[in-house]
A and B are shown apart, each in its own frame.
Chain A
Amino acid sequence: MLKYLYLNNFRNYENLEFMPEEKFIIFTGANGTGKSNLLEGIYYLGTGYSFRQARDENLVRFGSDYFAISGIVSCAGVDYKIDALYQREKKRKIIKINNKRVLPGSCSSYLPVVIFSPQDLILIKGAPSVRRRFLDLLVSQLKPQHSKDLHYYNNVLLQRNKQLRSIKTTDADLFPWEKQLSSLGARIWKRRISVFSQLIDYSSEVFASLSRGRILRGEYKFQINGIKESDDLAKLQGLLLDALQKARPNDRKVKFTTVGPHREDFCLYLNDHEARLYASQGEQRLISLALKVGQYQLLSLEKRAEPVLLLDDVFSELDEKHRVLVLDVMKKGSQVFATTTASFKEEYGRRKALTSHITMVYPKNF
């Protein structure tokens, strides 16, 4: 749960301090007043990146050369201070928990955020990297070691790719990097597989209830043949090492690593047809909604930290059915931050100014 937020030179905010007084807050205001930016700041604190496919440098307030976000979050009854700092000139990102520097991504289990936004459609339509990022975020929110393994995996990957670019590279030069990719990669696989199958179980149930019993299926797409979901770590490690070594001649040609978890994707099927290719716009929207609700439900099972729900503009985007579903989820008592341009009647709830253009509404009936 978020107890305190401070945005400094983040997007349109020079200085904004904010202490949520209620569990459910709606930010209302006209277009372009900074409502989504605020959610983006909260999301960044919980993930280390923007939910709008923006780069860190885009988040720096015009005319400034850094941004800083600080927050106090409560997690299983204990308060933690999280700081994120980005310096544009040095292209440097520093994340701290309780003043100790941590790897980016480490915050995801302290402040597990789930965003519902008009951009969610990209989960279905977008590139594989979007889906990998979504799955890896969920895995990291559930299993803190995952973000560390990903970080080291990517470091090893950069080293192997660099090594591939040198013409005098021998197999012995590649081996130490491949060996590490395979042990880290096997752990990444193992967690992805188990979390993905749970996610799909929840999401298909949600989807069935939203669509009068239609069937959503999902499949994690391994690039490497012969992997079974039941394989143990040692087996997976062996398969990945083998695949990396077989890929050497090709990798040398293209000068990067062409196999491994960093290239994989998952596929969604609506009544057995691939959703990306065959589902309608409305169906795709429904599937992305089901995935997000699935994410939220999986996180809710976790006793450690309650998920924080960020609802960007969903009131205007979703029809009545979905609105009811989202409100239902909210009734479970999670912290919710929502944005909308709509205005509310006085009796809807207490209100308070956040900035000169944004008003907070605390709805009565939650």
Chain B
Amino acid sequence: MHLYPSSLAALIEALRKLPGIGPKTAQRLALYLLHAPEGEAEGLAQAILDAREKIFFCSVCGNLTDTDPCELCRDEKRDRSLLCVVEWPRDIIAFERTGEFNGVYHVLHGVLSPMDGIGPDDLKIAELLKRVSKGDIKEVILATNPNVEGEATALYLAQLLKPIVPKVTRIAHGLPVGGDLEFADTATLSRSLLGRQVI
């Protein structure tokens, strides 16, 4: 059997570890990068290093950012009394695309799932409670995914938040059960935000 030279094999192996990439795709990408136009591979390598170095989590909301606090948290025009709790930074992008929301966010970085060994301590829940107990928040919108784990996380948070926040709401289930916020179209997401209900 003919094997690739070791540096090429190492590249293929590294690419294969990326989510959504199987052995065939990894091979194709590696061979492409080898023969890519001048500067392209170097550009990619530099972009990865830059992003790794400059991007971190916002100390206020947990969003991905290159300044602290992040752009959204610094924006004076946003309503700081309205807080939307999401699972991942990518959900913020989805909500921002709807243009319907002018409050601020809090990223949990996951959902409760005993099956995966994820409990309250593994999520940014303590940070959320600290933020909320400062007192200027009038409404918390629980915008976790409408699946089993997202719903459980919302119910768990509702128990903790209701005694300390005037209003706790859950986005409406215009979303298909088992649907993902990331893939929901903008119209569905706007509707789910407007139709939110007290939990």
Chain A residues in the interface with B (C-beta under 8 A):
103, 148, 152, 155-156, 158-160, 162-163, 166, 172-173, 175-177, 179-180
Contacts and interface: CB of A to CB of B under 8 A. Distances in A.
A166 B116 CA distance: 13
Contact of B115 (A148, A152, A158, A180): A158
Given A162-B114, A162-B115, A176-B152, A152 B178 contact: yes
Contact of A180 (B114, B155, B160): B155
A348 B159 CA distance: 71
Contact of B152 (A103, A148, A166, A177): A177
B59 interface: no
Contacts of B160: 172
B112 A148 contact: no
A176 B153 contact: yes
Interface of B: 112-115, 119-120, 148-149, 151-156, 159-160, 177-178
Contacts of B153: 176
Given A159-B114, A162-B114, A172-B156, 9 more contacts: A159-B148, A159-B149, A166-B114, A172-B160, A176-B152, A176-B153, A180-B148, A180-B151, A180-B152
Contacts of A159: 113-115, 148-149, 152
Nearest to A183: B151
Contact of A176 (B112, B115, B178): B112
A152 B114 contact: no
A64 B154 CA distance: 44
A147 B143 CA distance: 26
A179 B160 CA distance: 15
Contacts of B119: 166, 173
B155 A175 contact: yes
A175 B177 contact: no
Contacts of B154: 176
